[in-house]
Amino acid sequence: MSLETAKTEFLGIDDVRFAFRRLGPATGTPLVLLQHFTGTMDAWDPAVVNALAQTRPVVVFDNLGVGSSTGRTPDTVEQMAADAGTFIRGLGLARVDLLGFSLGGMLAQLLAVQQPDLIGKLIIAGAAPRGGEEHLMAVVEDAFAQGAPDVRLPLFFTPSEMSQRAGRAFVARATARKQERDPESGDDVSEPQAKAIIGWCAREEEDEATLRSIRQPALIVHGSDDTMFPSINAYNMFKAIPNAELILYPDSGHGALFQYPERFVAHCRIFLDA
């Protein structure tokens, strides 16, 4: 089973229906993936997800109002994290590891603090802490203005030929699934998610209390030239989280994990299996 072919399943909780896909073996600690701004299950890189699923269970899902899930997309990171926790517990999972990319990395930070019995290890890629530096709307507007064949090329990758070549390969992989693809996100997703991200980064937090409360092992991965969430965010998280490791990938932007999928998966495996 692969990300391109995995069946979309649904989990009903109260009046919400979560869409999700499961890959990998039936045993082992599941790795739950938390997606980026406006991203759906089909925005993940199959090269990353399929490789991670070779050795452990992997779950991708759409949070409230996103993709094939029902409900209304919240406009706070706090509520999104709570909804993700509801989904994970609804699957009957007692303990999981998290991979959170961008907005998903913000959710992962809160889940680790608020539900420590549920969350084991954290991989935080391309994210920012509370009070972190963000240039979300400026970067998104500039990316759309460039008229690229896919907005993710200027949004996730640097202008260098090497990075753009890797970006084109990523886009080809991410669009390979043809059946049961999630619908693309519209304003009903982008507007509340943008409000959530901007609010998260605008909220100054004394003594970095959330980060310092994370007791789980954390791997922080970032691009050297991330214009959306500059790499100083990664360094600040690394310094504040008591048990954190930091990796910066060269000549890479917001989508560094998709530019170096093999290297990223290798680093994840070393971290998760330690």
Q: What secondary structure does DSSP assign to 183-248, as a single string? A: PPP-HHHHHHHHHHHHHHHH---GGGHHHHT--S-EEEEEETT-SSS-THHHHHHHHHSTTEEEEE
| Element spanning 17, H or E | strand 16-23
Q: What is the DSSP letter of 57?
A: -
Buried b (16+ CB within 10 A) or exposed e, 77-98: bebbbbbbbbbbeebeeeebbb
Q: What's the pLDDT score for residue 1?
A: 84
Tell me, yes or no, if the pTM score tops 0.85: yes
Q: Map residue 254 onto helix, strand or coil.
A: coil
| Element spanning 155, H or E | helix 152-156
Separation of alpha carbons 133 and 136, rounded Å: 9
pLDDT tens, position by position, 68-116: 999 999 999 999 999 999 999 999 999 999 999 999 999 999 999 999 9
Main-chain phi, psi angles of 193, to 5 degrees: -70, -40
> Maximum Cα–Cα distance for the chain, whole Å?
49
Percent of the chain with pLDDT over 70: 100
Separation of alpha carbons 225 and 252, rounded Å: 6
pLDDT tens, position by position, 13-51: 999 999 999 999 999 999 999 999 999 999 999 999 999
Arithmetic mean of pLDDT, 154-176 = 98
Q: What's the pLDDT score for residue 170?
A: 98
Residue 231 has pLDDT above 90, yes or no: yes
Q: What's the pLDDT score for residue 100?
A: 98
pLDDT tens, position by position, 188-203: 999 999 999 999 999 9
Arithmetic mean of pLDDT, 258-271 = 98
Q: What's the pLDDT score for residue 257?
A: 98
Question: Which tokens hold the place of 50?
Answer: 């399929």
Question: Which tokens hold the place of 171?
Answer: 């886009």
Arithmetic mean of pLDDT, 213-219 = 98
The pLDDT-based confidence of 206 (bands split at 50, 70, 90) is: confident
Buried b (16+ CB within 10 A) or exposed e, 190-214: eebbbebbeebbeeeeeebebbeeb
Q: What's the pLDDT score for residue 226?
A: 98
pLDDT tens, position by position, 167-180: 999 999 999 999 99
Query: What average pLDDT is seen over the chain?
Result: 97
Separation of alpha carbons 155 and 248, rounded Å: 18
The pLDDT-based confidence of 262 (bands split at 50, 70, 90) is: very high
